[in-house]
Structure 1
Amino acid sequence: MKLLPSIKLALKNIRSSKLRAVLTMLGIIIGVSSVIALVSIGQSSTQSVAQQINSLGTNLLSVNVMDTSEGQLKESDVDSFKKLYGVKDAAPAVNGRITAVNGKTSTQVSLIGTTESYQNIRDTKVANGRFLADIDNEYREKIAVLGSDTATTLFGADNPVGKEVQLNGNSYKVVGVLESKGSSIGQSGDSVIIVPLSTAQRVLGTTDIQSVYVQAQNANVLTFVQNELERSLMPLFHNNTDSYSVTNQQDVLDTMSSVSKTMTMLLGGIASISLLVGGIGIMNIMFVSVSERTKEIGIRKAIGAKRKDILMQFLIESIVLSGLGGIIGVGVGFIAIKIYAVITNTSVTFSPPFTFIAFGFSLVVGVVFGVFPANKASKLHPIQALRFE
């Protein structure tokens, strides 16, 4: 039996029972579309996490103090970090929550006290005005750089540069507005106010430095710099390594990417179960089709059809069913991705490799689950088939 006539005959049989064919393909359609949609969304989430971590800065190491009872970091310690081999720059930071007021508008925002180095280390860009300068920290100037969301909340569409803003009841001159950075690992980078380190310490009532952002000269020396920082911190905190942490940006990226990929594969695996369920549905309906067309099989064998012809006829019909379900599933999956992107206002990348894998798997399902009913049909005795009622 030739391939093209067999495909035409299979399509004819499918058209004769459209509703049954659609119900049979439903499992394949759901399986293929689910695999495509979930894997594409998962891969896009992985890329988004990587972008968020990279937006924190390049070749970045973060030193965080968890227990100040064992030791404290001072500006002099940060200056010593800058002298370590492989270190390009370092920026201290203190953090807190404050109330910012402009006229009758007030909002709770994150206050960051830091130095001029913070801008380059954290890849922070200024949309209007300027960033902090070291002289601002030296003279404890009452100036502020607003995040984009903070500027919009307090000043609306007006340009806040040169105007005053109240921080915990004290007036500060706005010297700059940052470009929007979006959210990074669940935290908004736009709902902030940045002031000089010495000024923030006075506002928050502390002289301790909570965090230090260290920029390595290149990615090749990140691990070396991390070890040097840990070696420098140990005597400052009486060898209590639980009091502080040194985080390598690349380690965070690798961990988050690994988790995202694992979740993507898990979701893809769960969705693939629908393909197996669809395969069982195809097998059941093909057994029914063999029973309904027993006399047809008997007639075909009586006029000279061989066993392999009958086998191929039903096997091709099973593959056509699963193939059509796979094609429809690809379309449904693509539509699902677009709908998800519109609803969540995110960018979702269509994954061609997994699309081909899902479609190919649907064809394999058609072959595997179509073999049993096709084999049964091919083994029917022509005389018994003709007598079948």
Structure 2
Amino acid sequence: MKIKKIFKMALSSIWSNKVRSFLTMLGIIIGISSVIILVSIGEGTKKEVQSQIEGLGTNLITTNIVGKKSKALTLEDIESLKNKASIKYVAPVSTQNQINVKAGTKALETTIESTTKEYSNVSKTNVSKGRFLNERDIENRYYNAVIGQDTAIELFGNINVIGETININGMNFSIVGLLESKGSNMGVSSDDKIIIPLSVYQRVFKDTDIKSFLVEAYSKEKVEEAMGYLQLMLNKKYNNDTDSYKIFDQTSLLNAANESTSSMTTMLTGVAAISLIVGGIGIMNIMLVSVIERTREIGIRKAIGAKRKTILIQFLIESSCISFLGGIIGVSLAFLTCYVLKSGFNTPIVMSLSSVIVAVIFSIVVGIVFGMYPANKASKLNPIEALRVE
């Protein structure tokens, strides 16, 4: 019997039991759509994290002083790094969270960052209006501030805030710059903050401790050399106690982030793939029922000369078609879900053609593997015994 005719018979059998066939496909539909959606979200998250980290530059180094007993750095410690050949910029950073800021009758709690003029270059922080802090602001302790867009809207209702005054910890600051919007990172807004000169911060908050600073190497190739200078300075400061500080370079952060998101995606995909196995078991179950229901039909076909191979192929095609159609519906559902998540909920999603193809091929393989036993059982039926079945 020609393969084309076997295909027609298999599809006719599926169509004659539409509801049962669809219910059988459900496991495959859910499995395929879940796998594609989770892989797409994982790849989207990975790409977003990678973009954010690379946006800061691959030659950025972050140093944090850890431990309550570790003494803080001084501005002189950090300034000593500026003369090193591999280091382009150094920017100390001191931060206060949830500080009450007022503008007229409005008030909010936000993050206050303090730094020097180099911060703009090191962290790739730009202003959309006005200017960033300069050397005069630092040296003369001018009460100037650069403000994030979310903070500006909360306090003033708009972003035309250059020249406006805000009150921080009882002191008035003049807004000289509006930061470019960077959006949110892991659900936390990057636009809800105020940056003031480090020298002013130390006076207002009476805090001269520096627990963090950023370093930009001249190039990616110079990062290792720059980190060597950092370690020499820190080991001298903390008597070789490496537990007193942590140094991170962007490449390490990028690799760690990629490994983390890849592991999470693999785990979630594995969980979703279990539903494909459950779907395969459903296919095997319904095909066994189909063999029992069509025992007499199989007996008649064998009696008039149908070969075992033909019966085997027909049932395998039926199970594969159920699985394949389930896979196609699952892919369509995944596309629709990803579109809704991306456009409606701003979820980072990257759907690759390779993941779709692999998912569909896997669904067909599931149909063949789990359809093998029922097909083999049907092909081995004794025609005489099969004809006796009512």
| Counterpart code for 2:178 | V
* 8 Å contact kept, 2:101–2:107: yes
* 8 Å contact kept, 2:92–2:213: yes
Q: Distance in 1 between matches of 2:55 and 2:206?
A: 30
The alpha-carbon deviation at position 184 of structure 1 amounts to 3.4
- 1:3 aligns with 3
The alpha-carbon deviation at position 116 of structure 1 amounts to 1.0
* 8 Å contact kept, 2:287–2:319: yes
**Aligned with 2:19: secondary structure?**
helix
* 8 Å contact kept, 1:311–1:377: yes
TM-score by length of 2: 0.96
The alpha-carbon deviation at position 251 of structure 1 amounts to 1.1
- 2:160 aligns with 159
The alpha-carbon deviation at position 20 of structure 1 amounts to 0.8
Deviations 1:5-58 (A, max 9, x none): 211111111111111101111111111111011111111111122223234444
Provide the alpha-carbon RMSD of the alignment. 1.6
- 2:206 aligns with 205
Query: Counterparts of 1:115-130 in structure 2 under 5 Å?
Result: 115-130=116-131
The alpha-carbon deviation at position 283 of structure 1 amounts to 0.8
* 8 Å contact kept, 2:116–2:134: yes
Q: Distance in 2 between matches of 1:126 and 1:346?
A: 27
Q: Which runs of 5+ in 2 are unaligned?
A: none
Which stretch of structure 1 is more off in the superposition, 57-66 or 97-106?
A: 57-66
Q: CA 1:246 to 1:173, structure 2 compared with 1: closer, same or farther past 3 Å?
A: same
Tell whether 2:94 aligns with 1:94.
yes
The alpha-carbon deviation at position 263 of structure 1 amounts to 0.7
* 8 Å contact kept, 2:45–2:348: no
- 2:261 aligns with 260
Tell whether 2:335 aligns with 1:341.
no
- 1:375 aligns with 376
Q: Distance in 1 between matches of 2:384 and 2:186?
A: 72
Deviations 1:48-81 (A, max 9, x none): 2222323444411111122475433222222221
Q: Distance in 2 between matches of 1:3 and 1:205?
A: 85
Query: Counterparts of 1:1-389 in structure 2 under 5 Å?
Result: 1-67=1-67, 69-97=69-97, 98-157=99-158, 159-184=160-185, 187-389=188-390
Which stretch of structure 1 is more off in the superposition, 293-302 or 273-282?
A: 293-302
Q: Distance in 1 between matches of 2:24 and 2:185?
A: 45
| Counterpart code for 2:164 | K
The alpha-carbon deviation at position 370 of structure 1 amounts to 0.9
Q: Distance in 1 between matches of 2:252 and 2:159?
A: 41
Q: Distance in 1 between matches of 2:2 and 2:35?
A: 33
Deviations 1:86-120 (A, max 9, x none): 21111111111322111001111111111111001
| Counterpart code for 2:312 | L
| Counterpart code for 1:109 | T
* 8 Å contact kept, 1:55–1:184: no
| Counterpart code for 1:159 | N
| Counterpart code for 1:240 | D
Q: Which runs of 5+ in 1 are unaligned?
A: none
Deviations 1:234-277 (A, max 9, x none): 11122222222111222112112111111101111111111111
The percent of aligned pairs where both chains have the same amino acid is 48
Deviations 1:194-246 (A, max 9, x none): 11110111112122222110001122222332232112111112222222211
Deviations 1:268-291 (A, max 9, x none): 111111111111111111111111
* 8 Å contact kept, 2:41–2:347: no
| Counterpart code for 1:180 | S
The alpha-carbon deviation at position 180 of structure 1 amounts to 0.8
* 8 Å contact kept, 2:93–2:115: yes
The alpha-carbon deviation at position 350 of structure 1 amounts to 1.6
The alpha-carbon deviation at position 374 of structure 1 amounts to 0.8
* 8 Å contact kept, 2:159–2:178: no
**Aligned with 2:349: secondary structure?**
coil
